[in-house]
Amino acid sequence: MPMNDEDYMRAALEEARRAGACDEVPVGAVVVLDGQIVGRGFNQPIGRHDPTAHAEVMALRDAAARLGNYRLPGCELYVTLEPCA
């Protein structure tokens, strides 16, 4: 059965739970391309000592590494919180 927006948000919530389990602010994100999750990430600035390790950045990094393209054409980002701007 194809995944939909609700499924992607559930996956992002799973990532947020991972962050919470690590005593991070519970934020999660997934990157989707052509109906498939190609990147996942959760908030990790405390554990990584990295102020840029926000969930959406971690998911984008994961997707770029998996796809071999930092531009991520056609990808959609699902985040449990409005991304930082």
Catalytic residue among 15, 24, 56, 82: 56
List all residues 6 or more positions away from 82 whose beta carbon is below 8 Å from its beta carbon.
none
In tens digits, the chain (85 residues) has pLDDT values of: 789 999 999 999 999 999 999 999 999 999 999 999 999 999 999 999 999 999 999 999 999 999 999 999 999 999 999 866 6
56 is an active site residue = yes
pLDDT at 44: 98
Cα distance between the two ends of the chain = 34
**What homologous superfamily is domain 5-79 in, according to CATH?**
Cytidine Deaminase, domain 2 (3.40.140.10)
pLDDT at 82: 82
List all residues 6 or more positions away from 4 whose beta carbon is below 8 Å from its beta carbon.
none
Q: Which two tokens stand for residue 59?
A: 């998911």
pLDDT at 36: 98
pLDDT at 1: 77
pLDDT at 2: 85
- How many Å apart are CA 54 and CA 46, to the nearest integer? 10
